[in-house]
Copies of this chain bind each other. A is one copy, B any other.
Amino acid sequence: MDDTRKSRKSHDVQVDLIAVLVSVIAGAPSVLTIRQGDMLPSGPFEFEHRSLQAGLRAWVEQQTGHPLGYIEQLYTFADRDRIDNEAGRAISISYLGLTRAEEPHAASAPHWVGWYDYFPWEDHRDGTPPLLEEVIQPLLDEWAESASDRQLRDERRRRMASVFGFDGERWNEELALQRYELLYEAGLVAEARRRRKAADCPRKEIPGVAMFADHRRILATAIARLRTKIKYRPMVFELMPPVFTLLQLQQTVEALSGRLAHKQNFRRLIEQQELIEETGEMASDTGGRPAKLFRFRPAVHIQRTLMGTRLPVMRS
């Protein structure tokens, strides 16, 4: 070790593990929560844990009874929005997990919450939500106006436009985190307001359920990551049942990205890439012509990290 490092006894730090466990349930991308949707499953990294992932698994299973399948590290946060800060610093290491939708069964059913409950402005499957133009844009406009000088105001305007797709800019679903952060900065989400003096807050708050500490920000990070990564890596697999129709696959992707895909082109792209194969069976409960059933090709799971996938989303 370096001299500088050896010589000083540094303060140790509290490390928390946080899981964003995602599943698509009845067309709604959902997160596993505790405390009625207020918190993500989480707990301190402890001496007994053999690894970060092992620790996370232990906490999630203890708190929700849900097993953890595929997970990947998301981001490590420090301090932001930490409430009990007195004794020392706290660090949160967050993970993104994907799991198959399971029918919630009765009593001990863990609490899955649709992620658009937290981010209603992120769902564009039925077109741009009115909320954006009617509520968010005016409030952000006020915020931009309240800037101390003109340069700052213009800067805020630019950010609003490019992040939310105002003023003719295109909506980019991957910017979910930037949008949340902009709203936070503008004092329009509850998490920001409770850290400010009342006088510093804009008069109104926007719709969308708040969460404990910075958990909603972590969720936004997960959404952004998932929306980006799903386009070039075969991650949807983890969310699908063993056998499915192309429409089910498409709807899962649409649920996550928050926008619709062009059906025929979606087929073409998926079929080209040799990620899936026909089972030979048909699904007849489609409400129309029966659909072929598919499964993922075994190689796909193995090569998860290595291969690319591409998925189309509609522009409009």
CB proximity to B under 8 Å, residues A1-60: 1-2, 4-5, 8, 10-15, 34-35, 39, 43-47, 49, 51-52
When distances are taken between beta carbons in the complex, the residues of chain B under 8 Å from A134 are none
Question: How long is the Cα–Cα vector from A306 to B173 in the complex, in angstroms?
Answer: 11
Question: How long is the Cα–Cα vector from A175 to B178 in the complex, in angstroms?
Answer: 28
Copies in the complex: 2
Counting CB contacts under 8 A, is A62 at the interface?
A: yes
Summarize A's interface: helix, strand, loop or mixed: mixed
Question: How long is the Cα–Cα vector from A78 to B53 in the complex, in angstroms?
Answer: 10
Contact of A12 among B14, B76, B84 (CB under 8 A): B14
Listed stretches A88-96, A112-120, A244-252, A289-297; interface member: A88-96
Is B10 in contact with A44, judged by CB distance below 8 angstroms?
Answer: yes
Q: Given contacts A43-B4, A47-B88, A84-B1, are A93 and B76 in contact (CB under 8 A)?
A: yes
CB proximity to B under 8 Å, residues A143-172: 158, 162-163, 172
Closest to A44 in B: B10
A85 smallest CB distance to B (angstroms): 12
Closest to A10 in B: B44
Is B45 in contact with A89, judged by CB distance below 8 angstroms?
Answer: yes
When distances are taken between beta carbons in the complex, the residues of chain B under 8 Å from A264 are none
Question: How long is the Cα–Cα vector from A5 to B46 in the complex, in angstroms?
Answer: 11
Most chain B Cβ neighbours within 10 Å, of A13, A47, A163: A13
CB 8 Å contact bits of A295-315 with B (1 = contact, 0 = none): 000000011011000000000
Contact of A79 among B15, B51, B175 (CB under 8 A): B51
Interface size on A, residues (CB 8 A): 44
Question: How long is the Cα–Cα vector from A89 to B178 in the complex, in angstroms?
Answer: 34
Question: How long is the Cα–Cα vector from A4 to B17 in the complex, in angstroms?
Answer: 14
Is B51 in contact with A162, judged by CB distance below 8 angstroms?
Answer: no
When distances are taken between beta carbons in the complex, the residues of chain B under 8 Å from A63 are 2, 4
When distances are taken between beta carbons in the complex, the residues of chain B under 8 Å from A15 are 12-13, 15, 91
Closest to A11 in B: B47
Q: Given contacts A43-B2, A76-B93, A79-B51, are A12 and B306 in contact (CB under 8 A)?
A: no
Counting CB contacts under 8 A, is A286 at the interface?
A: no
Counting CB contacts under 8 A, is A70 at the interface?
A: no
Q: Name 8 A/B residue pairs within 8 A (Cβ), A-sorted.
A: A2-B43, A4-B63, A5-B44, A12-B15, A15-B91, A52-B78, A73-B76, A162-B306
> Taking beta carbons and an 8 Å cutoff, which residues of A are in contact with B?
1-2, 4-5, 8, 10-15, 34-35, 39, 43-47, 49, 51-52, 62-63, 73, 75-76, 78-79, 84, 88-89, 91, 93, 158, 162-163, 172, 175, 178, 302-303, 305-306
Not counting A12-B13, A47-B89, A52-B76, a sample of 16 additional A-B residue pairs whose C-beta atoms are within 8 angstroms of each other reads A2-B43, A2-B63, A4-B63, A5-B44, A10-B44, A11-B12, A12-B12, A12-B15, A12-B88, A13-B13, A13-B14, A45-B89, A76-B93, A158-B302, A162-B303, A162-B306
